[in-house]
């Protein structure tokens, strides 16, 4: 979240960064959710992710998220910030194929069918003393790039 | 994985680990082990065997990007770029040994922040890099599971 105008995302203007942290196995920002939190109709180029009241951390900014609260010695420096608890709710929709591709990438060991799609998000956050609500209805033009895929990677690349 | 750069990565790493331990210690003392991360749940054995139903996570993709250059912090994630053709994308999944559906977004928009003490509101911008993975995966236990994960 940034103090600049809608559509901006400058690190120096960031005041909240919500994520679930990297897990002990180095998986980046992934958290198990209920199976029914995700609905996919790949043939119709649609998917939806809905989660309410997910426990996350507010690391203040991406630099503190990636350095686990150490900040960065940039100019000007980004001071270290201790993470605080927060809850987020979100409803993300992928809808409408803009481009499609069949990929078989033997260097990264992934393959599958991929769609570039339209997408919207409605989300909110709440923590001690602060609440945020994204604009509703969500603006489809806010989508910079979104992708849906049906893929196999790692050991499943070879099957 | 991460090479020393203009900024001493080793020094950052030493400090990082010290800080990480401090955070873990403080978190454990104040709020219990649950502060650092919600527990792994919901992933189930593919064959319905409930013997190992919890704390089974996936493994990260081997690739990814180095964020916050030149500080060299490697993350197992390939961010989407609006200028990359769909046929040229890197693996959009964060987990490896995975067979299923994956979604990623890169959305920038606006909203309203509210100071709950004063009621004052402020227009704010956001960037949401979010997504999901749903399907089967080989977990850290070497067994096949099914799971649904949000990328947050």
What is the per-residue pLDDT across B59-86, written as a single tens digit (0 to 9) for each? 999 999 997 777 788 999 999 999 999 9
- Closest-CA distance, B19 to chain A, in angstroms, reads 7
pLDDT in tens, A22-57: 988 999 999 999 999 999 999 999 999 999 999 999
Residue B4 or residue B41, greater confidence: B41
* Interface contact B16-A68, CB threshold 8 A: yes
Residue among A111, A62, A154, A91 nearest B90 (CA): A111
Question: Once rounded to an integer, what is the mean pLDDT over residues A111-127?
Answer: 98
Question: Once rounded to an integer, what is the mean pLDDT over residues A116-123?
Answer: 98
Chain B residue at shortest CA distance from A4? B125
The token pair that represents B120 in the structure block: 């004052």
Of B36, B84, B101, nearest to A42 by CB-CB distance is B101
3-class SS of residue A22: coil
pLDDT in tens, B48-65: 443 334 468 999 999 999
3-class SS of residue B35: helix
Residue A16 or residue A24, greater confidence: A16
* Interface contact A142-B109, CB threshold 8 A: yes
Mutate which: B89, B116, B118, B129, vs A, most A CBs within 10 A: B89
Of B67, B71, B82, nearest to A145 by CB-CB distance is B82
Q: Does residue B74 belong to the interface with chain A, where contact is any CB pair within 8 Å? A: no
* Interface contact B114-A101, CB threshold 8 A: no
Domain boundaries, chain B: 1-37, 38-151
Residue B31 or residue A56, greater confidence: A56
First to last CA, chain B: 24
* Interface contact A72-B82, CB threshold 8 A: no
Angle (CA) A15 B80 A139, round 5°? 65
Identify the H or E element spanning B22. helix B9-31
Q: Which residues of A touch B123 (CB under 8 A)?
A: 5-6
3-class SS of residue A75: coil
Residue B51: its pLDDT value, please? 37
Question: Once rounded to an integer, what is the mean pLDDT over residues B11-25?
Answer: 43
Of B15, B93, B128, nearest to A151 by CB-CB distance is B93
The pTM (predicted TM-score) of the whole model is 0.84
Of A3, A31, A63, nearest to B149 by CB-CB distance is A31
Q: Which residues of A touch B37 (CB under 8 A)?
A: 20-21, 23-24, 31
Residue B54: its pLDDT value, please? 45
Q: Which residues of A touch B128 (CB under 8 A)?
A: 90, 92, 121, 123
Residue B55: its pLDDT value, please? 64
- Closest-CA distance, B59 to chain A, in angstroms, reads 6
Confidence of residue A75 (pLDDT cuts 50, 70, 90): confident
Is the model's pLDDT at A99 over the cut of 90? yes
Q: Which residues of A touch B133 (CB under 8 A)?
A: 30
Confidence of residue B17 (pLDDT cuts 50, 70, 90): very low
pLDDT in tens, B81-125: 999 999 999 999 999 999 999 999 999 999 999 999 999 999 999
Query: Which value does ipTM take for this structure?
Result: 0.95
Query: Are A125 and B152 a contacting pair, CB within 8 Å?
Result: no
């Amino acid at each position: 979240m940034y103090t600049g105008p809608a559509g901006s995302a400058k690190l120096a203007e960031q005041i909240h960064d919500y994520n679930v942290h990297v897990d002990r196995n180095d998986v980046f920002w992934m958290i198990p959710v209920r199976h029914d939190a995700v609905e996919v109709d790949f043939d119709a180029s649609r998917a939806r992710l809905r989660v309410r009241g997910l426990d996350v951390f507010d690391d203040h900014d991406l630099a503190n998220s990636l350095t686990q609260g150490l900040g960065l010695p940039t100019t000007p420096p980004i001071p270290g910030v201790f993470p605080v608890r927060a809850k987020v709710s979100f409803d993300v929709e992928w809808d409408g194929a803009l481009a499609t591709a069949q990929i078989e990438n033997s260097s990264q060991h992934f393959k599958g069918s991929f769609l570039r799609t339209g997408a919207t998000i409605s989300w909110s956050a709440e923590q001690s003393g602060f609440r945020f609500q994204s604009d509703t209805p969500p603006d489809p033009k806010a989508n910079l790039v979104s992708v849906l895929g049906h893929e196999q990677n790692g050991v499943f690349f070879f099957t | 994985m991460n090479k020393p750069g203009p900024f001493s990565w080793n020094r950052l790493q030493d400090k990082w680990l010290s800080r990480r331990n401090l955070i873990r210690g403080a978190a454990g003392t104040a709020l219990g082990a649950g502060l650092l991360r919600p527990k792994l749940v919901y992933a189930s054995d593919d064959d319905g065997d409930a013997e190992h139903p919890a704390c089974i996570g996936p493994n990260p993709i081997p690739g990814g990007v180095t964020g916050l250059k030149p500080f060299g912090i490697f993350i197992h994630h390939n961010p989407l770029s609006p200028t990359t053709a769909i046929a040229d994308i890197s693996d959009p999944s964060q987990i490896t040994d995975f067979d299923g559906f994956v979604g990623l977004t890169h959305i920038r928009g606006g909203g309203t922040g509210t100071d709950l003490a004063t009621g004052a509101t402020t227009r704010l911008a956001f960037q949401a890099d979010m997504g999901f993975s749903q399907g089967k995966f080989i977990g850290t236990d070497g067994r096949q599971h099914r799971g649904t994960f949000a990328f947050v």
